[in-house]
Amino acid sequence: MRFIFDSNTWQEIFGSIGKNRTRTIITIIGVLWGIFIYIALSGAAKGLDNGFEEQFENVAMNSLFTWAQTTSMPYEGFKTGRPLQLKLSDVTVLENRIPEIQYIAPRNVKGVFGGSPGLIVRGTKSGNYNVYGDYPVYTKIATKKIYDGGRFINDKDIELTRKVCVIGERTQKELYEKEENPIGTFLRIDNIYFQVVGVHKFTPGGGFESDSDIYIPFTTYRKLYNTGDDVGWLTIAAYDDADVVQVEKDVKAILKSIHRVDPRDERAFGSFNLGEIFTRISGFANGLTFMSLVVGIATILAGVIGIGNILLISVKERTKELGVRRALGATPREVKAQIILESVFLTMIAGIMGIILGAITLYGINLGTEDLDFPYTNPTVPIPYVLGALVIMVVLGTLIGLIPAQRAVSIKPIDALREE
């Protein structure tokens, strides 16, 4: 230890390294490049991962949507091409028969899948906005942030078929004055007066929803638009430990049996499995992280081997100097330690520079993608990974340094002195 903290040791290391500056710099670049690639790649992978997570942060990760289409196979006397319609009663059946379902929310909308959006009028201002019929349970699957003072639709609203609505940020901006509080005010949705009970904050990502959507109780919706027991689509969240893909299959199978559709008919019900897609995306990000680890370590290894190579040459060049040192009383251990320390020092310098460069690059990418609609947020490399990389480099630097160090002491001092 005394050895490491002795200024003479370091002076000697700088002395021998500084002898051939160009060569040292080129050598360092090898390792620097390796750690740079490792940091930049794994940071970018983490950024993508974070970005995707942000996209889906307001939707349950293990949720899926399903809707009715038209049959593509004749079955039980029904001809092919029969249009299907989900019914409210399907919800109860699904809930009872699939225990993996945690929440299930039937939804209806006016204005998204064909049809015109609702006409919303307030005083002299008006606009066309999508109107959703919802149950309170929907917020368990996709969180809706409601501004202070307001609320989402609740069970009482459903029960009493209340004419209340939750409006979007943009709706508020377009129909209200700046300082006006919309809570408690009334507006006309397709000629029926509704009281505003909340304003929801728009969170980007996750489907077709926007900052101008209006939510009203499901029961009010069916009266308003005369939809009876019809359900537009189902939003289903499975328990965290459930297999979402299997739940999706079960849901479709049960719906097929209820609606008397051929079990082999793949086109009768459509679905979108967020859980599956999310698993795929996070698998992709994990793969990217793993790849950056492999590529980074391989490049670091190549760089470290380069350092070992250069030190071998440098030892050869310094044979005489090392001979002098040994004639003056340097033990083989001291000579070895010095060369290993040189190796480790070069590796560390290269590593730290690489980490700094990598961090700057990540910072640059982050700045560049900040305003873009690209799932990339806050690229980071966990500190333990960075420290781990440094440890690996020290270990590799030591191991590779052993080769030239051994070479340095394998020559007898007398032969070393004779070298010209």
Binding residues (CB under 8 A) for other proteins: these are 2, 6-8, 11, 15-16, 18-19, 320-321, 323-334, 409, 412-414, 417
Q: How far apart are CA 113 and CA 104, in angstroms?
A: 21
Q: How far apart are CA 229 and CA 98, in angstroms?
A: 21
Q: Give the amino acid at 194.
A: F
Closest distance of CB 345 from other proteins, Å: 16
Q: How far apart are CA 110 and CA 214, in angstroms?
A: 10
Would you list the DSSP string of 36-50?
Answer: HHHHHHHHHHHHHHH
Closest distance of CB 12 from other proteins, Å: 8
Q: What are phi and psi of 271, to 5 degrees?
A: -155, 160
Distances (CA, A) of 302 to 43, 292, 334: 21, 15, 27
Looking at the Cβ atoms of 16 and 220, the one nearer to other proteins is: 16
What are the structure tokens assigned to 345, written together?
């020092």
Q: Residue 234, SS3?
A: strand
Closest distance of CB 32 from other proteins, Å: 24
Closest distance of CB 293 from other proteins, Å: 39
Q: How far apart are CA 355 and CA 393, in angstroms?
A: 12
Q: Give the amino acid at 106.
A: P
| Closest residue by Cα to residue 129 from 162, 165, 153 | 165
Looking at the Cβ atoms of 6 and 180, the one nearer to other proteins is: 6
Q: Note the Cα 356 to chain centre separation in Å.
A: 24
Closest distance of CB 414 from other proteins, Å: 4
Distances (CA, A) of 105 to 63, 188, 233, 236, 271: 11, 26, 9, 6, 14
Looking at the Cβ atoms of 16 and 377, the one nearer to other proteins is: 16
Looking at the Cβ atoms of 18 and 114, the one nearer to other proteins is: 18
Closest distance of CB 346 from other proteins, Å: 17
Closest distance of CB 8 from other proteins, Å: 5
Looking at the Cβ atoms of 6 and 155, the one nearer to other proteins is: 6
Looking at the Cβ atoms of 118 and 413, the one nearer to other proteins is: 413
Looking at the Cβ atoms of 296 and 404, the one nearer to other proteins is: 404
